[in-house]
Amino acid sequence: MSAIEVRLTRLAHGNDLPLPSYQSAHAAGVDLLAAVPATAPVTLTAGERALVPTGIAIALPEGYEAQVRPRSGLAARHGLTVLNSPGTIDADYRGEIQVLLANLSSAAVTITRGMRVAQMVIAPVVRADIVEVASLDNTKRGSGGFGSTGS
């Protein structure tokens, strides 16, 4: 596996939290932690959403993005997901990484300080040169959309 350098700054409200880290030797993403105040956890009722701070900002190299994705355990056990999944962090963004969590369960879920709330995957970006043409080439699938290739 190759690695790239990603510069990270801890913000004041995240100074005491561990840095994002991979939880296994072959993990694709690092875990992002909730930087909510210890004295003020965030409770998401059924169907509610909240923007959860992580207390970090990053500088990605040009040609890369960070994708913020749900953690499968939180989704399976508590019905929590990242609402705009995957959330994209562009290489020129320098603000705090925040996670838009949604509670899809029927029970309230409390987000506490240091809780692993999402994962972040760093990925290369390929930019497209958009070229307008009069028509597109034909394919076997054609304009078949949702469900058109099978059940």
Q: What is the pLDDT of residues 34-71, one digit of tens each?
A: 999 999 999 999 999 999 999 999 999 999 999 999 99
Distance CA 34, CA 113 (A): 5
Beta bridge partners of 124: 64
Res 93 pLDDT > 80:
yes
Cα dihedral sign, 29-55-94-118? positive
The domain covering 7-124 belongs, at the CATH homologous superfamily level, to: Deoxyuridine triphosphatase (dUTPase) (2.70.40.10)
Domain borders along the chain are 7-124
pTM, two decimals, is 0.88
**Is the separation of the CB atoms in 104 and 79 below 8 Å?**
yes
Tokens of 46: 């059924």
Predicted confidence (pLDDT) per residue in 98-148, tens digit: 999 999 999 999 999 999 999 999 999 999 999 999 999 999 888 877 777
pLDDT at 83: 94
10 Å Cβ neighbour count for 1? Answer: 5
